[in-house]
Amino acid sequence: MISTIRSEWIKLRSVRSNLVMMGVALFAPIAIVLLTVSFMELSSVSDVTIAELLAGSGTFSIMMLGVVGVLSVTQEYSQGTIRITLAATPKRLRVHLAKMAVVVGVAAVIMAIVLLVGRLAGSAILDSRGFGGSLGYDGEGAVYGALLVTAMVVAVLGCAAGTVTRNPPGAISALLLWPLVVESIVGGVLGVLIDGWKQDWMPFQTGLNGVLVSTHDLEFGRWGSIGYFSLWVAALSLLAVRLLRRRDA
Amino acid sequence: MIVVDDLTKKYGATTAVDRLSFSVAPGRVTGFLGPNGSGKSTTMRCMIGLDRATSGTTLFDGRPYAHLRQPLVEVGALLDAGNAHVGRTARNHLRWIAASNGLPARRVDETLEMVGLQQVAKKRVGQFSLGMKQRLGIAAVMLGDPRVVILDEPANGLDPEGIRWIREILKDLANQGRSVLVSSHLLAEMAMIADDLVVIGRGRLVDQCTVNEFIDRHATKWVTVRSPDLDRLIELARATGLVPERVGDGVEFHGVDSSVVGELAAAHGLVLHQLASQTGSLEDAFLRVTADSVEYHGDSESKR
């Protein structure tokens, strides 16, 4: 298993487009947070400001890490290397688990750096601009923890979506459009058709809502929402592994 | 040793490989021949588990591919030289393959040197010619120094020097005791490389034997005669039921042994300047034996 993980890690970091996506996931949210705190009115800064900024820009980073997960799989199909991969490692479950392990690790490290740099540098900038108030609050750690976990879950989702579709544009489109468009439309239609329907039953949007600073309105709460989303991702991953094992390479 | 037993692969109603059985012996190059669409590539993919065989087995030294602990050490397969990420360098392409089976990094440099790509190791595969990709594919095959080598059309895109290089590599590999299975459309090349042949048509085994046996069994045979008494010889031959065919300043007899023609000439005191038994090439034998298996004919072929 270690050999397979090492192999997948070499694959991921030896292609420029993957490095670009990882760079965007790392630097874009940090840049957004630091630029915002550098120029925003100090009067509008409160103890939740940095956490809110990190939750917003971190969601963008989460989607980019999902794309990294997609690319880690679909590149293999578009470039034909899946045949070498599966010939080198005939145990296909092991290949999928190794890919998941690598993208989950990358997602965790990138999100941890985003949170650490965003929080520390953001505070330093606000302090240097003369903001004297507190920049932390009791629930802050939960927001950062939710961002970290959701990034890892979406990276796993990317792997699963890539394995099911085997097509880079298709999987990336599905990943990005699903929470933004499909769940809104489907949820809206189901809301009309089913009495008592709740939009929080749409998994991806609910999962992403779990990273919000305020989670009072969530049907399942912060960790319940992320857990609910994770169950759907686990189900899709099981489908992906089943397809990977059954399909011809 | 590779043993393919009763291998069948169906895609819906289409049977691509039909109860195919053959073996590939160690220390020999076995050519895998068949017309386009005859199931060669599908067979190779099924052998190493990339495609799920509908039924049948393939054993490598007695074990199925899926049970090999370090597959690249046992079996090296090159099914398509284009299976490499265009944005990855040659060296990194080999690095991830080597890492997947826990092979030491030095094997990457050794195999790059072996195929003559060490100078372009840091170039992206997208900048490679087809010939260079073939060499990279061979390097990947040799990473694990495998006992069995499977190559699908390895000479595709290679220049004459490259074709000679692949010929020498394949012979070296067999001489080292490895089992080598190689498919190719270059039949003249195959005649030089292969010791044994597995010939298939429409997914079924047509013949398995040595190259010489295959030519002997299936190629056209004829006798060429040159004589100052050619007209008389033709006349006598026709009288005895033979079918002579005048070609240039000689005559050819198909389907008879040279001794029959020689004895006929001797019995009538005719002088012969040439009496030679001729046998067709591997290409001739292959085309004859697979004539019924070719799915797509050109106009000139279909009019024959």
Q: State residue B286's pLDDT score.
A: 83
Average pLDDT on A2-14 reads 95
Q: State residue B27's pLDDT score.
A: 93
CA of A10: which chain B residue's CA is closest?
A: B96
A8 contact residues in B (CB cutoff 8 A): 96
Distance from CA of B93 to the nearest CA of A (A): 8
Counting the structural domains of chain A, the total is 1
Whole domain around residue A213: which residue ranges?
A: 2-246
The answer to whether A14 faces chain B, any CB pair under 8 Å, is yes
The answer to whether A91 faces chain B, any CB pair under 8 Å, is yes
Is the model's pLDDT at B40 over the cut of 50?
Answer: yes
What mean pLDDT, rounded, does chain B reach? 89
Per-residue pLDDT reduced to its tens digit, A86-117: 999 999 999 999 999 999 999 999 999 999 99
A88 contact residues in B (CB cutoff 8 A): 71-72, 97, 100-101
Among A1, A4, A6, A10, the strongest candidate for a mutation testing the B interface, having the largest count of B CBs within 10 A, is A10
Per-residue pLDDT reduced to its tens digit, B202-242: 898 988 999 888 888 888 889 999 999 999 999 999 999 98
Q: State residue B304's pLDDT score.
A: 39
Is the model's pLDDT at B298 over the cut of 60?
Answer: no
CATH code for position B30: 3.40.50.300
Is the model's pLDDT at A50 over the cut of 50?
Answer: yes
B100 contact residues in A (CB cutoff 8 A): 3-4, 6-7, 85, 88-89
Per-residue pLDDT reduced to its tens digit, B228-281: 999 999 999 999 998 899 988 899 998 888 999 999 999 999 999 999 988 888
Among A228, A196, A178, CA closest to A63: A178
The answer to whether A86 faces chain B, any CB pair under 8 Å, is yes
Last residue of a domain, one of B183, B199, B217: B217
Whole domain around residue B239: which residue ranges?
A: 221-279
The answer to whether B71 faces chain A, any CB pair under 8 Å, is yes
In a domain, B108, yes or no: yes
Among B89, B94, B100, the strongest candidate for a mutation testing the A interface, having the largest count of A CBs within 10 A, is B100
The answer to whether B12 faces chain A, any CB pair under 8 Å, is no
Is the model's pLDDT at B302 over the cut of 50?
Answer: no
Residues B134, B263 within the same domain: no
Of B84, B99, B140, the CB nearest to A3: B99
Contact B84 A79 (CB under 8 A): yes
**Contact by Cβ (8 Å): B46, B8:** no
Residues B87, B228 within the same domain: no
**Token pair of B156 as six digits:** 């595709």
Of B51, B75, B101, the CB nearest to A3: B101
Average pLDDT on A187-197 reads 83
Average pLDDT on A196-213 reads 84
Q: State residue A119's pLDDT score.
A: 92
Q: State residue B102's pLDDT score.
A: 94
Average pLDDT on A141-160 reads 95
CATH code for position B227: 3.30.70.980
A7 contact residues in B (CB cutoff 8 A): 96-97, 99-100
Contact A15 B85 (CB under 8 A): yes
Distance from CA of B112 to the nearest CA of A (A): 17
Residues B7, B103 within the same domain: yes
Residues B60, B155 within the same domain: yes
Contact B100 A80 (CB under 8 A): no
Residues B226, B265 within the same domain: yes
Last residue of a domain, one of B196, B217, B238: B217
Contact B102 A3 (CB under 8 A): yes
The answer to whether B150 faces chain A, any CB pair under 8 Å, is no
Of A8, A80, A248, the CB nearest to B52: A248
Q: Which residues pair with B63 in a beta bridge?
A: B60
Residues B191, B208 within the same domain: yes
Burial degree of B273 (CB within 10 A; 0-12, 13-18, 19+) = exposed
Distance from CA of B87 to the nearest CA of A (A): 6
Residues B145, B231 within the same domain: no
pLDDT range class, residue B288, cuts 50, 70, 90: confident
pTM: 0.83
Average pLDDT on A175-185 reads 83
Contact B71 A84 (CB under 8 A): no
pLDDT range class, residue A204, cuts 50, 70, 90: confident
B101 contact residues in A (CB cutoff 8 A): 3, 88-89
Give the residue with greater pLDDT, A207 vs A86.
A86
Is the model's pLDDT at A131 over the cut of 80?
Answer: no
Share of chain A above pLDDT 90, in %: 61
Q: Which of residues 156-215 of A touch B (CB under 8 A)?
A: none
Residues B82, B154 within the same domain: yes
Of A54-58, A122-126, A129-133, B120-124, least confident by mean pLDDT is A129-133
Torsion of CA A198, A204, A206, A208, to 10 degrees: -160
Contact A7 B89 (CB under 8 A): no
**Contact by Cβ (8 Å): B60, B148:** yes
B104 contact residues in A (CB cutoff 8 A): none
Distance from CA of B92 to the nearest CA of A (A): 7
In a domain, B285, yes or no: no
In a domain, B118, yes or no: yes
Counting the structural domains of chain B, the total is 2
